Structure 1
Amino acid sequence: MVLVITQETFDEAVKENINEFGMSTDEAVEDAVKQFESQGVDLSNIIKDLMISKPGDTNTISSTVTELANFVKDKNTVKPEQYREKLEVLKNECDKGLEYRVFAGKEGAYQVIMDVMLKNDVNIELIKDCLKTLVALMTKQPDLLDDKGIQTMINFLDKQKDSEVQRFILKWIKECCVMHELNRQHIFEAAVLDHLKPLLEHASSAMLRDVLAVLRALVLDDDVRVEFGRSHEHARTIASDTLCSITVLLSKFKTDEPLMSDLMLTLSSLLVRNEFCKKVEDAGGLEMIKDVMITFHEKEKLAKQCFKLLKALAGNDEVKTHIIQKDFAPVITSTLNRHKNSVQIAASGLACIAAVTLRSPDNSKALFEAGVPEVIADCMKLHPEDVNVQKNASWAIRNMVSRSRYQNEKFLSFGVEKILQQNLKKFTACEYDIKSALRDLGCDVNLKEEWTGKGGKLTTQAKVK
């Protein structure tokens, strides 16, 4: 169990080191850190260079929050510039790290910023500063969000037409959804999707990236505090309403590299049902993906996203067949070969090949004729210590040869048997996958029988009444 302490406890320990042992401030902080860490205390949320208060002094965060609160009470005599100056100070403090944001949250910064924003809701520039500060405050600290904050998000998306304000609202929503399942559910239940759908049709490229980031955040499943989330339900609802619109954007913004990456990443996260894959294909998705792979053939990030999206689409057997029928085999092979030095692309490309060839000898044949066995072997040789590359390569080989044993000789000629045998010793967690590849390659492998009966006769007894 991880131990935690308050900021006050840490500060008291530092003061004691200074007053009782005559240490300098730096020495006192260093000693306090060592002492607490030796006791197993987690200091990630503790500000270690916080100014030690002297009589009459206060730290920057506390004093700034207090001044903003006083400004709100005395609204009529406070100028917007005064608010903006203090908000900038608070934002800069929050940008220093999570420990500063946690301390600001404990000092009541969230409620004060909300009060400033709602009591000055006609001043666009001041609203922007409030939103920027909220984003800084709540990054990796979404617990601060309350019902008033969610309602403010929805109201601003509905009424504020300034594009910058809308973008800051979207960034705020996204940060509040990351690692917080209840926030995601409450924001989704507030009908945020109804306000996001129009933006998909009319927003600029920059705003579209923020909208897509929110959509992906709403389907995350990253809150360890919750046993069961609603990521699948959210993805299903979002996909039903937006898949076609998002797919069309691939053609509309086909020269915008960053947006193309976000579009494909978002599509991949929404393909949670078989029929959604067909929906993307029917909207022209396969042709657009192929164009991206050819147009941006040198871009590693886009290559990775294309492989991930193709893997997701191959979950539908009909779409999987069409992928190869649309002559993707040479494109997949050449793209993976071009970027095989990248461990991430090697892993995602091999996973894509495994998905496209699963129970599909025709697809396997097309990739085989395109020269993919040599590329698979090259990826294994280039990344011998990466478990994901080796595991995905095992899947790809197994799926390629399981119904096409004529390919065995070609794979073996590139030395994959030796690599797989070495992987058995290095990667025990994926022993089954490696042995499956060796088995289907016709190599000697010691297969372990997972379950055996004891040979006893099964009997049943009926109760006689």
Structure 2
Amino acid sequence: MASRRITQETFDSVVQENITEFEMEPEEALSEAIQQFESQGVDLINVVKAVQNTAAEASDQKHNILQALDELRKALDLLALDKMGDHLTNFSEQCSLDFAHRHLAAEKSAYPTVLSSCKQLMSDMPSLLKGVQALAALLDGQPDLLDSDGRQLLMEILKQHRDHAALTTVTIRAIRHSCLKHEQNRQDLVQLGVLALLVGAIVKHGTQADVVKEAGRALRVMTFDDDIRVPFGRAHDHAKLIVMENDGLRIIIEAAKAFTDNPSVLSELCSTLSRLAVRNEFCQDIVDLGGLNFMVALLADCIEHREVVKQVLSVFRAIAGNDEVKDAIINAGGTDLIVLAMNRHMGSPQICEQGCAALGMFALRKPENCRVIMEGGGALMALQAMKTHTAEVNVQKQACMLLRNLVARNPDFSQLILEMGAEVLILQAKTTHRDCEDLAKAALRDLGCKVELQEFWTGEKGGISR
């Protein structure tokens, strides 16, 4: 795996050398430079792989994104507010090309320039929209750029312009980009009251698909624990705040009902809902608020929409942590729909994983539910998923867990499952995927198959040595 990095200047100098010293055409020089560095194990993700403007003087040669940034700076210095909007749009387009363009701009101090532009345009709604779009584009993949001034500005825009749907959407997008893989930004924004504003945006613009989808995504990001730089985050606390202080479950469920013909919005809201089912009572609340009946109907109506199916199954998996909710899903016909969805989308490893995981949760500690799953073809479908996705470790793990749960309290099912060919598939998963070994052994053991269980420590001999 490539791990070495180089600067933009180093890359550009090699391209220029290929052009001047070896008389290559610009595109050939670029291709040669890329091949040369990649063969040396250099990761070029942070490098703009384009030829600079060779028609300009040597001292003025710059990549397009830096030219766009220079034009924006000139307009800002002159307070030419009427021209800043176009320059911001041009800068946003360059940032949207790839991470390398955004990284290069950030290295050249683009963030304070864009932030200052937004502050100057606070009273000019159309231009402010372009400014926040540029800020959101720049922050994508670079959340460390956001500082205290930036957080305050984004919050101020959300508060002052809450009636403006488009501006609300891009401001929330900027917040989402700044919170991905950045725990401190999440915590700081939550302290500033961002959760109430995000939920409020869904209520205020409940018929605007872009706002609802973006707000749902941002709420979900607030429940992530994805920043490896901190030992632990506050994902669980943020989920509780969304539910208990901001009525998040009810608002999201009600919002979803307004978009039954929009699979894109539905999948986003379902995904967010699954992230909020972090406590036993929250799982029950989703049922009591009509969320379960809505999800069952949604799965039946949108069975052809792969992304919606995957996210509904993830909700079932999440809320089935509550034993009473398991029974409610079973009684609502959830098992048959899950088996149907897996059969319809057998080619999707994500749906197979979520389907097996949901059925595995239904079966846990529930012998009667196991009977329903067996009669509905759940075990057979899990084995078919194992056959189809032999290389997908998560599918193998969840299928093994389901098979184990089905027989843990119903040993009579063991022979039937073995006759379906379970042992060979489980052994194959155990051999192929090291991460699946423990689950595979547990499934084989509970199915009554011969399995070698290694005893790592017996509790005998010696003490702890220094």
Residues paired across the two proteins, number: 454
CA RMSD of aligned residues (A): 2.3
Q: CA, structure 1 residues 336+87, in 2 after alignment: closer, same or farther (shift >3 Å)? A: same
1:318 aligns with 2:320: no
Distance 1:397 1:189 in 2: 45
Q: Cα deviations across residues 90-120 of structure 1 (Å, max 9, x unaligned)?
A: 2222122111111111222222222222212
Distance 2:3 2:355 in 1: 39
Q: Which of the residues 57, 61, 84 maps onto 1:58?
A: 61
- Displacement of 1:355 in angstroms is 1.0
Distance 2:4 2:347 in 1: 42
In the alignment, is the contact (CA less than 8 A) between 2:283 and 2:319 conserved in 1? yes
In the alignment, is the contact (CA less than 8 A) between 2:195 and 2:242 conserved in 1? yes
Q: Cα deviations across residues 171-195 of structure 1 (Å, max 9, x unaligned)?
A: 1111111122222222222111121
1:431 aligns with 2:434: no
Q: Cα deviations across residues 372-410 of structure 1 (Å, max 9, x unaligned)?
A: 222222222222332222221111110011111121222
Distance 1:146 1:279 in 2: 37
In the alignment, is the contact (CA less than 8 A) between 1:248 and 1:283 conserved in 2? no
Q: Cα deviations across residues 5-38 of structure 1 (Å, max 9, x unaligned)?
A: 3222333344444455555544544444445445
Q: CA, structure 1 residues 20+259, in 2 after alignment: closer, same or farther (shift >3 Å)? A: closer
Normalised to the residue count of structure 2, the TM-score between the two structures is 0.90
In the alignment, is the contact (CA less than 8 A) between 1:128 and 1:165 conserved in 2? yes
Q: CA, structure 1 residues 129+413, in 2 after alignment: closer, same or farther (shift >3 Å)? A: same
2:60 aligns to what SS in structure 1? coil
Q: Residues 276-315 of structure 1 correspond to what in structure 2 (within 5 A)?
A: 276-315=282-321
| Aligned counterpart, 2:398 | 392
Distance 1:228 1:398 in 2: 32
- Displacement of 1:266 in angstroms is 0.3
In the alignment, is the contact (CA less than 8 A) between 1:185 and 1:230 conserved in 2? yes
Q: Which 5+ residue runs of structure 1 have no aligned equivalent?
A: 459-465
| Aligned counterpart, 1:210 | 214
In the alignment, is the contact (CA less than 8 A) between 1:90 and 1:133 conserved in 2? yes
Q: Cα deviations across residues 219-238 of structure 1 (Å, max 9, x unaligned)?
A: 22222233322222222211
Q: Which of the residues 169, 172, 190 maps onto 2:171?
A: 169
- Displacement of 1:349 in angstroms is 0.3
Q: Which of the residues 205, 212, 224 maps onto 2:228?
A: 224
Q: Residues 66-85 of structure 1 correspond to what in structure 2 (within 5 A)?
A: 66-75=70-79, 78=80, 80=82, 82-85=83-86
Distance 1:328 1:46 in 2: 49
Distance 1:3 1:352 in 2: 42
Q: CA, structure 1 residues 381+9, in 2 after alignment: closer, same or farther (shift >3 Å)? A: closer
In the alignment, is the contact (CA less than 8 A) between 2:168 and 2:201 conserved in 1? no
Q: CA, structure 1 residues 202+425, in 2 after alignment: closer, same or farther (shift >3 Å)? A: same
Q: CA, structure 1 residues 20+285, in 2 after alignment: closer, same or farther (shift >3 Å)? A: same
Q: Cα deviations across residues 146-174 of structure 1 (Å, max 9, x unaligned)?
A: 21111111111111122111111111111
Distance 1:111 1:47 in 2: 21
1:42 aligns to what SS in structure 2? coil
1:224 aligns to what SS in structure 2? coil
| Aligned counterpart, 2:108 | 107
Q: Which 5+ residue runs of structure 2 have no aligned equivalent?
A: none
Normalised to the residue count of structure 1, the TM-score between the two structures is 0.90
In the alignment, is the contact (CA less than 8 A) between 2:76 and 2:84 conserved in 1? no
Of stretches 239-248 and 398-407 in structure 1, the one that deviates more from structure 2 is 239-248
Q: Cα deviations across residues 227-261 of structure 1 (Å, max 9, x unaligned)?
A: 32222222221122212222233434434322221
1:4 aligns to what SS in structure 2? coil
1:92 aligns with 2:93: yes
Q: CA, structure 1 residues 301+18, in 2 after alignment: closer, same or farther (shift >3 Å)? A: closer
2:141 aligns to what SS in structure 1? coil
Q: Which amino acid aligns with 1:422?
A: Q
**Which one has the largest radius of gyration?**
1
